[in-house]
Amino acid sequence: MNHPLVVKHPETGQPTLYINEQFTRNINDKSLESEGITLTSLFLNSRKEEFQVRFSWEPGSVVIWDNRCTQHFAVTDYGDEARRLHRVVVKGTAPQAMMIR
């Protein structure tokens, strides 16, 4: 399945990377590589500390994030303790591609 690398946030209009290390396998636009844009460079950029939020779970914690512009990476730092999670997904609109040049 093909999809854009960058999409427009439906409320703010800001560009957001629409990639995921688990699922994105290649870039179809080979001209981007000549400009130094590779999946590796995009993944590294998305992992920068300035773009991260680290949350420490405590009993009764509730966290909400906007999946339209957030990449979730769970760190299994809770040992053998059981956790109960409830996920809610709100129906949204189809992503709109943006040019990145």
Residue-range definition of the domain harbouring residue 68:
1-101
Over the stretch 11-24, which tens digit does the pLDDT of each residue have?
999 999 898 888 89
Residue of 83, 15, 89, 84 whose CA lies nearest to 45: 15
Q: Tally the residues of the chain.
A: 101
Helix (H) or strand (E) holding 94: none
**Domains: count for the chain:** 1
Contact 8, 15 (CB under 8 A): yes
Over the stretch 48-85, which tens digit does the pLDDT of each residue have?
889 888 888 788 888 888 888 888 777 777 778 777 78
